[in-house]
A and B are shown apart, each in its own frame.
Chain A
Amino acid sequence: MAGKKIATRESYGNALKELGEKYQDLVVLDADLAGATKTSTFQKAFPDRHIDCGIAEGNMMGIAAGIATTGKVPFASTFAMFAAGRAFEQIRNSIGYPHLNVKIGATHAGISVGEDGATHQCNEDIALMRVIPGMTVICPADDVEAKAAVEAAYLHDGPVYLRFGRLAVPVINDEESYHFEIGKGITLKEGKDVTLVATGLCVSEALEAALMLEKEGIDAEVINIHTIKPIDEELLVASAGKTGKVVTIEEHSVLGGLGGAVSEVLGTKCPVPTLRIGIEDTFGESGPAAELIKKYGIDAESICRKVKEFV
């Protein structure tokens, strides 16, 4: 459906509601943000299995750990800043270390939070979460992928960090034919001159950039890496070997996120020149999301310009 836009946080809420019907052991926790994280969608359908912990994220992660020990599957939800940021140590020690079956639904990741500004724009969460041993880190690109990711996370045994956005983003996947598998990247467009590796809302921007590049005579391959950990090494190495140049694109710091993960793989297995596009080593600011995406250089036009310079 061309032109349709949905925020992946909406997809999260909708998926939880659907899964709640299917799986009786699914419990949703929130920290006074149910309306924003969209767990309110689940709450309306299953008020008894939706627990508001109040504004106390560290405790919420601990409660999720405790619930998981009893064999239930908790989804703990808040903004990325307060999940990966504030509650980092609780996630690391009470969930990661005992490898408990807790799913963390982190919404409002990245600068597309918009007007709330730097305090709420988490550009560091992928870096923080992927260094925890045993943690799976997923950053879906659109509604179709997000819903599939939530169910895959439920079915996966072990902690999962799911990264969602506040901003409505284009639906780029076809619901009928789409298949999600944790740890398997998806080649959206084949090409021979350069590989664009993107995640989250940057996937649609990368696709658009690839079309612009085509007009300039540059044939770009576009890969969607929805699972940042474990990352699809095989796919990355094969593509890098083919094109010889790799660009990573993410709504996250250029340090430690997708760019870091891809560089770690290619640096040892297939060293090629790489360019990391993302939020440079800086904090965000208040402003409409679309303007920020432009200003911070992760929109299709900026990507196109940077890739042209790089190739």
Chain B
Amino acid sequence: MNKEMLQKTANQIRKDIVTAVYSAKSGHPGGSLSAADVMTYLYFEEMNVDPKNPDKADRDRFVLSKGHNAPALYSCLAEKGYFPVEDLKTLRHTGSYLQGHPDMKHIPGVDMTSGSLGQGISAAVGMALSAKLFNEDYRVFTLLGDGEIQEGQVWEAAMFAGAKKLDNLIVIVDNNGLQIDGKIDDVCSPYPIIDKFAAFNFKVIAVEDGNDFDQLDKAFNEARLTDGQPVAIVMKTVKGKGVSFMEDQAGWHGKAPNDDEYKQAMEELEKAGEA
């Protein structure tokens, strides 16, 4: 996909995210929007996956360690053709298969159940390890929040991946700078994120603007060429990206828009799509 197509797809996914959260009357738009571009890039450019055959053995895997970004994941999967886009409106409804956090048992294309922060990266490490043990050549991508890396389990997993040289593992940190209680540096600063992953024996790729497809493209190409160590892509993003009143606001971490807000958000995204 070229850059323009990726941008268009990401814009559509943003509309899906906002619509799904609006329909659910709850959910996590902020982080879903900050990560919408990288997830679009993964599903529409980078990963070897097939929506017709979601369980094929040699597929690349994606684990959404920051599981509360389920709206972004579901929107990508729906747009990719894993299930009907229309179903996104059932998000978080009683009886819907689209649970508040990703559920691998019931949702085609979800490679790992997640939602409890810090755990997804371990599962991703397990998948990458399994590929190494049984000589398979798929790759495993996992997306973490910057607040999430305060969890000790992230460093258990990082230490393991570094020690075992899992170069088929790509850890992506969505550094939007905000967590529920506020700015991550005020709550319990995980900075310097880059030095931490480097000290845990990762090849670290810093991305200045994780909402820019050129920069993402460059980073993932570099990741592909990395040999002998796991990769951490630490990308600065804007929380709530694409919806003016949600941008850079911790308050939009886990809140649904009301009718007026929804209307405004969709108008803005519509306009962005035409540009």
Where the two chains meet, the residues of A that have a C-beta atom closer than 8 Å to any C-beta of B are: 27, 48-49, 51, 53-54, 56, 58-72, 74, 89-90, 93-94, 97-99
* In the complex, residue of chain B having the shortest beta-carbon distance to the beta carbon of A102: B126
**Are the C-beta atoms of B122 and A94 separated by less than 8 Å?**
yes
Where the two chains meet, the residues of B that have a C-beta atom closer than 8 Å to any C-beta of A are: 57, 61, 63, 103-105, 111-116, 118-131, 133-134, 136, 152-153, 156-157, 159-160, 163
Please give me the 4 A-B residue pairs with the lowest Cβ-Cβ distance, nearest first. Answer: A66-B126, A62-B122, A59-B156, A56-B156
**Are the C-beta atoms of A63 and B119 separated by less than 8 Å?**
no
Can you list 15 A-B pairs with a CB-CB distance of less than 8 A?
A: A54-B160, A56-B159, A58-B122, A60-B122, A62-B119, A62-B121, A63-B126, A65-B119, A66-B112, A67-B130, A69-B61, A70-B127, A72-B134, A93-B115, A93-B116
Q: A56-B156, A70-B57 are in contact. List 8 more A-B contacts (CB 8 A).
A: A58-B153, A65-B122, A67-B126, A69-B61, A69-B112, A90-B153, A94-B114, A98-B113
- What residues of B have a CB within 8 angstroms of the CB of A66 in the complex? 63, 112, 122-130
Most buried by B among A60, A61, A65, A90: A65
Chain B interface SS verdict (over half):
helix
- What residues of B have a CB within 8 angstroms of the CB of A62 in the complex? 119-123, 125-126, 153, 157
A94-B119 contact in complex given A56-B156, A66-B112, A69-B112, C-beta closer than 8 Å = yes
- Shortest CB-to-CB span from A27 to chain B, Å, is 7
Query: Once the chains are docked, how many angstroms separate the CA of A56 from the CA of B159?
Result: 10
- What residues of B have a CB within 8 angstroms of the CB of A51 in the complex? 129, 133
A69's contact among B119, B127, B134, B136, by CB below 8 Å, is which? Answer: B127
Query: Once the chains are docked, how many angstroms separate the CA of A60 from the CA of B159?
Result: 12
A98's contact among B61, B112, B128, B152, by CB below 8 Å, is which? Answer: B112
- What residues of A have a CB within 8 angstroms of the CB of B126 in the complex? 62-70, 74
Most buried by A among B118, B122, B160: B122
**Are the C-beta atoms of A94 and B133 separated by less than 8 Å?**
no
**Are the C-beta atoms of B160 and A56 separated by less than 8 Å?**
yes
- What residues of B have a CB within 8 angstroms of the CB of A93 in the complex? 113, 115-116, 119
Query: Once the chains are docked, how many angstroms separate the CA of A20 from the CA of B131?
Result: 19
Query: Once the chains are docked, how many angstroms separate the CA of A68 from the CA of B127?
Result: 8
- What residues of A have a CB within 8 angstroms of the CB of B134 in the complex? 70, 72
Query: Once the chains are docked, how many angstroms separate the CA of A53 from the CA of B130?
Result: 14
- Shortest CB-to-CB span from A50 to chain B, Å, is 10
**Are the C-beta atoms of B123 and A63 separated by less than 8 Å?**
yes
Query: Once the chains are docked, how many angstroms separate the CA of A54 from the CA of B105?
Result: 30
Query: Once the chains are docked, how many angstroms separate the CA of A202 from the CA of B123?
Result: 37
